[in-house]
Amino acid sequence: LRETWPISKERMSEDIEQHLTEKLQASGRFSLQIDESTDISGAAQLLANVRYVDGDSIKETFFFCKEMASHTTGEEIFKVTDNYLKENNLCWSMCVSLSRDGAACMTGRVRGFIAKVKAQNPQIVTNHCILHREALVAKTMPPELTEVLNQAVQMVNYFKSRPLKSRLFSQLCAEMGADHQSLILHTEERWLSRGKVLSRFYELREELLEFSREHAVPHKDRLADKSLCARLAYLADIFEHLNELNAKLQGRNENILSSTDKILGFMGKLTLWREALEQGSMNMFPLASAAPQAASERAIYAEHLQTLKERFERYFPRVADIEDNDWIRDPFNQESESSTEKLTMKEREESTELRADRTLKQKFSELTLHQFWLVCASEYPTISHHAIDQLLHFPTTYLCELAFSTFVYMKNKTRSWLSVEQDLRVALSSVPPRIKKICAPRQAHVSH
C-alpha cells in the first residue's frame, strides 16, 4: 500500500541531490558560492550554490543548506562543507573557485574558512563577493555628507516607528497633492537601500517641513536649511547611481569578466563626473542640478567622488588586470594576442592554433562565450580548460541571498521549528527530479 502513496518532496529532494552529484562527478570541476545567516529561531544556517559544466553549457543551482551545530567559526563552516562533499564523493581538488563574504570567520589566516580550504586545494581561487565590496565602498563619504545622511535616516525612521505620525503625514501629503504619501524605511542590513530612502525623502521635503511645524520631528530646524537640501539631492543622486551598478551586478549566470567590466565602467564615470563638477556642470545628477548649489558644495561632491574612486581601487585591486583575460572574450582578435603572454607554452600554442581555425571563428559569433569554449574543449583542451575555469567563477553571493529570501518565507514565525533543506532544494534547484526513475519501482493505480 505504501508504494502507491504520492511522491513526497523528500523523495524528489533525494533524487535531485543524487542527480546533481552525478553531474558534478561527471563534470570534474565546479565553483562554490557560500554564505551564512541566522534564521527566525536564532540558528545559524550555511547555504551554498554550485556552478558546473553540464554537457554543452555551464549551469548553476542550489547545493545545500545546513544548520550549524555551534558557532559560525571558519573551522565549523569548513567542517560542514567538507563533510557534505565527502558524503557525496566530491573533493576539494574539483573546486576551482569559491565566492564568499568578507566576514572574519571566512578570511582568518590560520583558522578561517579560506585558509582551511586552501590547505586542501592551494590552487583554488577565492573571491570576496563584489556586491559586498561595493556596499563597503558606498559607506565612504566626508563628514559633511555623513551628517546629512544620518539626520535624514533618523527622521525617516521616526515616522516609520510611530504609526500615528505616519498616518497623519500620509494625510498631509494627500492634501498637498504629493506624488507619494509615505517615506521608505531604512534598514542597516541593506545599506544601499538608502538611495531610495533619500530620493523619497527629498521629494517629500516640503511636506515634511509643513508637518514639522506642528509635530516634534527630529532635526526639524534643518528641513529649511538650503545647504541640507542641496546635499540631500546630491546624496539621492549618487546613491541612485550606486544602486544601478548594484542591480547590474546581480542576476543569474553573471561571470567575473562581465562583472569586472561594470566595475571598471563605473570607476571611469566617477572620474568623468568629478571633472564635470570641477567645470561647474551637474547634469549627471538630476536632483542636485535642479537645486541651488554653491561652489563650496560642488567641492564637497568632487572630493566625495574622488574618495569613492580611491575606495573602488582599494577594494577591487585586480580589476586593472582584467585585460589579461581578453583572449577568453575574443580569441580571434589580434589585439588580444598580447594577453596570452602569461599563459603556459602549451596554452599559447593551442591559442595560436585556435586563432587560425576558421571553422571555429565562424561558430564564435553564433555561440555564447561558455558554449564556444566548451565546443573547443575536445580539440584544444588545455586552453579551453583554463577559459572554462575562469567562466565558472561566481563573482557574487547573489544566489545565496535569493535562497535566503526563500528560506525566510518558508521558515517564518509560525514554522520556526521547520528543517527546510529538502523544501529549498525542490523549490530552488534547476536540476529537475527524475519522476520516471522515482516512479519506476512503485505500483501504479489500477483504473476502475
CB 206 within 8 A of CB 291: no
Q: Looking at per-residue confidence, does 120 or 152 come out higher?
A: 120
Q: Is the dihedral of CA 299, 301, 303, 309 positive or negative?
A: negative
**pLDDT greater at residue 35 or residue 195:** 35
Split at pLDDT 50, 70, 90, the class of 223 is low
User: In 3-state terms, what secondary structure has residue 411?
Assistant: coil
**Architecture of the domain made up of 2-129+397-439:** 2-Layer Sandwich (3.30)
Q: Which three cell numbers stand for residue 384?
A: 579551453
Specify whether the CB–CB gap between 98 and 91 falls below 8 A.
no
In the 8-state DSSP scheme, what is residue 36? E
Identify residue 386 by its one-letter amino acid code. Answer: H
Residue 325 DSSP label: G
Task: List CB contacts of 378: < 8 A, sequence separation 6 or more.
Answer: none
**Binning pLDDT at 50, 70 and 90, where does residue 327 land?**
very high
pLDDT tops 60 at residue 1: no
- Average pLDDT of the residues in 120-131: 92
Lowest mean pLDDT among 13-17, 33-37, 106-110, 391-395: 106-110
213, with CB counted inside 10 A (0-12, 13-18, 19+), is exposed
- Among 34-38, 220-224, 405-409, the minimum mean pLDDT is found in 220-224
pLDDT of 406 reads 82
Question: Is 113:103 a contact under the CB 8 Å cutoff?
Answer: no
User: What is the SS3 assignment for 291?
Assistant: coil
The phi, psi pair for 184, rounded to 5°, reads -100, 130
The helix-helix angle for 381-392 and 345-355 (nearest 10°) equals 100
Q: Answer positive or negative: Cα dihedral of 377, 383, 385, 387.
A: negative
Give tens-digit pLDDT for 281-308. Answer: 999 999 999 888 888 999 999 999 999 9
Pair 96, 131: CB distance under 8 Å? no
pLDDT on residue 110 = 65
C-beta atoms surrounding 416 within 10 Å:
12
Q: How many degrees, rounded to 5, is the angle at CA 57 between CA 332 and CA 378?
A: 60
How many Å apart are CA 58 and CA 445, to the nearest integer?
A: 39
Is 366 strand, coil or helix?
A: coil
Residue with grid cell 557525496, as numbered in its chain: 88
Tracing cell 558534478 back to the chain, one arrives at 24
Query: How is residue 40 written as a grid cell?
Result: 527566525
**Contact call for residues 13 and 63 (beta carbons, < 8 A):** no
Q: Evaluate whether 72 touches 36 at the Cβ level (below 8 Å).
A: yes
pLDDT bracket for residue 165 (50, 70, 90): very low
Q: Looking at 138-142, 171-175, 421-425, which range is the least confident one?
A: 171-175
> How open is the CA angle 231-233-234, to the nearest 5 degrees?
65
Indicate the domain borders of the chain. Answer: 2-129+397-439, 135-317, 329-382
